[in-house]
Structures are given as C-alpha cells and as structure tokens.
Amino acid sequence: MTAVEWADYPLFEYEKDLARREIEALVGRDVLSFEAQVDASDAVLLRQRATYLRAVSGGGISAATAQAEVEDLHRSVRGRKTKRQSTRFLVHGLHEYKGKFNPQLARALVNVVDPSCTALIDPFCGSGTTLVEGLRLGLEVGGIDKNPLAVWLTGVKVDVLRASGEDGLAGRHLALSEKITTAMDLAQSSGRAEVPQGVEAADEAYLRNWFPQEVLAALWAALDICYREPSLAADVARVNISSLVRSISWQMPEDLRVRRRNKDWTPPRVADLFAVAAAQAHLALREVGGAAVVAGDLRAEIRAGSSADAETVAAVVPDGRRLVVTSPPYATALPYIDTDRLSIVLLGLGSAVDIRRLEQNLTGSREWNTGVARAWAEAWETNRDSLPSSVLDLLGTIQASNERTDAGFRRAAVPTLLYRYFSQIGQTLDNLAESLKVGERAVFVVGTNRTGKGEGLVEIATPRLLAAVAATRGFRVDEIIPLETWPRYGMHADNAVNSEDAVVLTVEKDQGRKARVSGSLGRSDKTSA
C-alpha cells in the first residue's frame, strides 16, 4: 500500500481540498483524509503530478514528489530555511509581471479537472505561468495575450525551461551580465545616450521624455550588447532590464496610472539595480540547470492577439485532448499596458503610438474613446450580444446606484464597460467552444469586484456572471470552486479582489451558436479585437 504526506508548509483550506481532489482524480479513489491509502501501482503517478503532497511512500520506497523537489531546490539554491510555499521556482521568478497566476493552483486545476488531457490552452496567458506548468506536466501548450511584453516573456520562459538540465546557461548569463553592468556604469557616467539601430524617431522622443538622459544611456548601452550578441542568455538579460525600467523612469512606480515624479528626483545607479536583478535570474537559471523537468520537443504555440478572434484561437489549439485553464482580466481590470508601456517601447516590442490602442483594447480595460463608448452603449441598449439577464440586471443596478449617488464620469461609465467586458468574454467562450470537442473542459479563475462607494457600493460577482455567459455559449457549468486570495495592500488596496473562484465548464453541443455569433458586436467592432 502507499501513503501520502502533506506539503511541508502551511496550506489554505482550499489547497487541502484541491489536494484531496487531485488524488481522487489521479487514482480514482475518494480520499477523505491523509491517513487513507491508495494502491502502490499509483505511486509513480502521484509522485510525478501531485501539487500539494510532500512525498509518496509505497513498496518499501519513500520518494518526494516532483513538485516538492523543485520547491526544495528553489529553497536550497537561495539558502532559505523557512518552510513556506515557493511560487517563484524555476522560471516563475524571472520577471515580476503584474497579476501573475499562482503556479501551484494552475498545476492542481489541471490534475483536478482533467488529468487525462494531453494539451493545455490559456487564452489570457499573461507571462505564461499556466503554460509553464503545462509543459512541466508533459502537455502541449497554446497561449494568447494582447500584451506584447507578456507574449515575449512567455516565449523566453519556455525557451529557458526547455534548457532544463543543461548547466551552461547560468554561466553564460553571468558572464554577459558582468559585461552589461560595466557598460551601463560607463554609459550613465558619460551621460551620452547613443540611439540603437532601428529605433524610430517617435519612439526615441517618447523614451527621452520618460527617462533621464543618463539612465537612457545606460539602458541603450546594455541593449546594444544584447542585440550584438543574440542568445538565450541575452534574452534573459533583456528580461532583467525590463524588470527595472519603471523604477528608473520619470513615471511614478508606485502609481497604477501614468503620472510623473517630482522634478527633484535623482535617478539611482542603473548598473547596481541591474546587477541585483541579474543575480536573482542567475539563481533561477541554476535551478533550471539542476532540474531536468521538460521534454524539449513539446509544442508551445504562443500568439500576440485577442482570444476574441476566432482565427487566433484556432491557431494555438493543439491536437489531442484539450483543457483550458486561464485567469482572465477581471472586470474593470488594472491597466497592465500602462504598467508595461516603457518596457514595450524600450525593447522594441511595440511602438509609442501603439500604447494607447493596446490599453483601450484590453479585455476589461477602463479606457476607450468617445466613439467606441457610444457604440457599446448602443450595444447594451439592444443587447446585441445576447448577454444573459443576470448580467443585464447587474448593469441596471449599477446605473441606478450611480444616478442616486451622482457618480463621476468614471463610475458612470462602468455599466457600459462591463457590457463590453462580458461581451468579449462571451466571444472568447464562443471561439473556444468552436475549437474544442464536445466533452472537453475549461476552467476560468476570476475574482469578485465592486464598484461605487458607501451606500452606492455594488458587488460585481464576476465568477457567477461569467458562468451565466458560458451557459449561453456552448458550455455546461459543472461547478464553481471557491478559492482564497491574499490580502492586497498599498497601491493595489482600492482594487482589491476579496474572493476568487474557479468556474469549471464542459463543452456541449449548441447548434445555434454560430448563427448567434455571426451577428454579435464582437465580430463587427474591430476596436475590441
């Protein structure tokens, strides 16, 4: 017989529940407590895939799970003795992309919802957390995101992960980082910002407006080395550079909006900050070099674009048995393009003139121009996108509350913004239903929002509303799994999401879906794609 052990750090109750669900899904038994046992023949599977288990024992052998091994390696490389959940192991810590998915949760949901799947899709992939965990589980993966920085970061992470077990990358990155640090120091001291080849005049002017001259000199000197010596090590160095740019710019780093610092701000030594970021990346690369975790021939298709576009979705859907696991932007999302705009332009991933368009077109964005706002207001008035009554009722409640409390223009726009949000989510669900087979499944992890103040405060129960939309888009709603979220402080407190849920769906036949979609605004309004 085989016994299993908890992870060696405190778990939330929802994680304990997912751990039990994992065992049941993987070995076919309803395990109600960790004193229960499973057949020894299932020990290998549990060791390979279980997320929240420390070890599995059976047949006279006791072995750590694969997840415990990578978390142990993460702590060992960093000399950490504290027992807490590691979420920045392997490539997950290469860049602190905003709104990152918890990797253990992504892994557990795959095991719980469909452990027999051979392919994983994330239509809102961000910086690739779900896709990385899919590759670790031996799955083909496909991802989409509108943020060009996110797509590029995902590609670098995948490439680094494919180098797992190869210990030379960490050394090459270290040598290159030392060269970059020296070049940055010299360039910042001289203050001469030599423009790299290929930088357009408009982008140059944009960057000069947002970086002090000496800081831009250091950044361009570093990027020049990366461009002249292209390699995976250079890509990781550019990731390190990206992680710095907001903190060394004129943009206030603690502010979610685009606001400038005071004129008396003194920029730090860029080389010193880069050296710290590179040192952290070096540790991550040592982890990857010490852990052969991914087969190099697994397909990973990552596209920049919108999951509301049917062709883009179809292009990333792998063959085999597919599962969707995603954490889409929440309703009235934070402005991630504004957060990343300097990296996007500096690294040549998009032009300065693209930034506002990218921000306006994000699913959940609170930004749009007058013409787009008017078009979506008309769509809401006639319910052109056939949203369910629960969504329309909420919009009416918010509108009435705004009228009672004399809301300002931002809150007054919320109902129409939410109509657009759920329409875009609906279009994504339509496209997934068309690309998946009947019986294949999807999990959307979203949080509950709120809008208004005082007596006018209204809850936006996004998980329940998303489930209602999915039920009209070719999916059966199987369950909504309650999760717990970390409390948020500082600049994120006003936008805090106090609860989060996993909405579990299964594709069903819907012969009327294509006819409905062909007439929806999501197809005709190009600004939303």
Contact 180, 236 (CB under 8 A): no
pLDDT of residue 37: 60
**Measured between alpha carbons, how far is 354 from 480 in angstroms, rounded to an integer?**
37
- Specify the amino acid at residue 39: D
Backbone angles phi, psi at 264, to 5 degrees: -90, 5
pLDDT of residue 234: 97
500-507 and 475-483 beta bridge pairing: antiparallel
**Measured between alpha carbons, how far is 241 from 101 in angstroms, rounded to an integer?**
22
pLDDT of residue 34: 52
Answer positive or negative: Cα dihedral of 207, 210, 214, 220. Answer: negative
Contact 503, 467 (CB under 8 A): yes
374: number of CA atoms within 13 Å, CB side?
A: 3
**Site of tokens 């016994």:** 3
pLDDT per residue of the chain (529 residues) written in tens, 0 to 9: 567 888 989 999 999 999 999 999 998 875 545 555 656 678 888 899 999 999 987 666 678 999 999 999 999 999 888 788 999 999 999 998 887 889 999 999 999 999 999 999 999 999 999 999 999 999 999 999 999 999 999 999 999 999 888 889 999 999 999 999 999 999 999 988 788 888 999 999 999 999 999 999 999 999 999 999 899 999 999 999 999 998 999 988 876 667 889 989 999 999 999 999 999 999 999 999 988 777 678 899 999 999 999 999 999 999 999 999 999 987 766 656 777 899 999 999 999 988 877 776 666 666 677 888 899 999 999 999 999 999 999 999 999 888 887 777 777 888 998 999 999 999 999 999 999 999 999 999 998 888 877 777 888 899 999 999 999 999 999 999 999 765 443 334 444 456 789 999 999 965 445 544 444 444 334 333 3
Give the C-alpha distances (Å, rounded to integers) separating 383 from 226, 377, 498, 516. 51, 10, 30, 12
Residue 70 CA, chain-centre distance (Å), reads 21
CB proximity list for 371: less than 8 A, separation 6 or greater: none
Query: 354 is written with which tokens?
Result: 């693209």
Nearest to 510 by CA among 445, 443, 429, 442: 429
pLDDT of residue 135: 95
Query: 525 is written with which tokens?
Result: 């309004």
Nearest to 267 by CA among 355, 193, 176: 193
Give the C-alpha distances (Å, rounded to integers) separating 256 from 215, 251, 259, 337. 22, 10, 9, 10
Kindly state the greatest CA–CA separation across the chain: 71
Query: 495 is written with which tokens?
Result: 């936008």
Nearest to 194 by CA among 165, 168, 223: 223
**Measured between alpha carbons, how far is 328 from 470 in angstroms, rounded to an integer?**
14
DSSP structure string for 263-312: TT-----HHHHHHHHHHHHHHHHHHHHT-----TT--EEEEES-TTSHHH
pLDDT per residue as tens digits for the range 185-221: 999 999 887 888 889 999 999 999 999 999 999 999 9
Contact 98, 336 (CB under 8 A): yes
**Measured between alpha carbons, how far is 104 from 123 in angstroms, rounded to an integer?**
19
Q: Is 26 helix (H, G, I), strand (E, B) or coil?
A: helix
Backbone angles phi, psi at 54, to 5 degrees: -80, -45
Residue 311: left (phi > 0), alpha (psi -120 to 50), or beta?
A: alpha
**What is the b/e burial string over 239-248, where b = at least 16 CB atoms within 10 angstroms of the residue's CB?**
bbbbbbbbeb
Contact 215, 249 (CB under 8 A): yes
- Specify the amino acid at residue 221: A
Helix 66-78 and helix 270-289, axial crossing angle in degrees, nearest 10: 140
**Measured between alpha carbons, how far is 402 from 417 in angstroms, rounded to an integer?**
14
Nearest to 336 by CA among 100, 92, 94: 100
**Measured between alpha carbons, how far is 236 from 221 in angstroms, rounded to an integer?**
16
Domain ranges of the chain: 168-289
**Measured between alpha carbons, how far is 305 from 151 in angstroms, rounded to an integer?**
9
**Measured between alpha carbons, how far is 415 from 402 in angstroms, rounded to an integer?**
10
Query: 326 is written with which tokens?
Result: 């995603």
Q: Is 397 helix (H, G, I), strand (E, B) or coil?
A: helix
**Measured between alpha carbons, how far is 32 from 23 in angstroms, rounded to an integer?**
10
pLDDT of residue 476: 96
At 432, which helix (H) or strand (E)?
Answer: helix 414-435
Backbone angles phi, psi at 97, to 5 degrees: -65, 135
